[in-house]
Amino acid sequence: MRVSCRVNGEQREADGVWPGESLLYLLRERLGLPGAKNACEQGECGSCTVYLDGLPVCACLVAGGQAQGREVVAVEGLTGPDGGLDRVQHAFLQAGAVQCGFCTPGLIVAVHDLLARVSTPTDADIREALAGNLCRCTGYEKIMDAVRSAAAMPPSTAAACPASRPGGPR
């Protein structure tokens, strides 16, 4: 089947989609956007977290066909006011919240969503919001630092227009 949706601000189409394919597979293997990650593919790890019509979802739990006519924003679509890094991406980089980086794309989207909802979260708020995102490298301490630090930065005005940066990774 054919699936048409807006991805990171661009209208995209994929042909020959098998109905059993997930949104994660659609993004990674059909649209050339491997930013969302395939760590468990059963909704336990949060590595594939993307926005679907503005709500964070595990892309592995959404059928590719369900994205028809909808708006998807993945980590590749997040960007700062100058077209550079979003504040969350910047904070993760500076704080040392990135080691192997496999959990990072999902966490960036989840934190981006948290800070859009709660501008100055408490530590307990942060932990509750990120409980669905597994990280095996950092022990979460630097991730906590990164979220606190990102919350203290001005929000990225351009995050709503993700098309300001090309979507393809390679």
48 near other proteins, judged by CB under 8 A? no
Q: Which backbone phi and psi does 120 adopt, to 5 degrees? A: -130, 75
161 near other proteins, judged by CB under 8 A? no
163 near other proteins, judged by CB under 8 A? no
> Applying CB under 8 A, which of residues 61, 116, 137, 163 lies at the interface with other proteins?
137
Neighbouring C-alpha atoms within 13 Å toward the C-beta of 102: 9
Rounded Cα–Cα distance for residues 7 and 63 (Å): 15
113 near other proteins, judged by CB under 8 A? no
> Least distance (Å) from other proteins to the CB of residue 51?
13
Task: Pull the structure tokens for residue 7.
Answer: 């991805």
Rounded Cα–Cα distance for residues 113 and 129 (Å): 9
Interface residues toward other proteins, by CB under 8 A = 18, 20-21, 28-29, 32-42, 44-45, 47, 74-76, 78, 85, 89-90, 92-94, 96, 98-105, 108, 124, 126-128, 130-144, 169-170
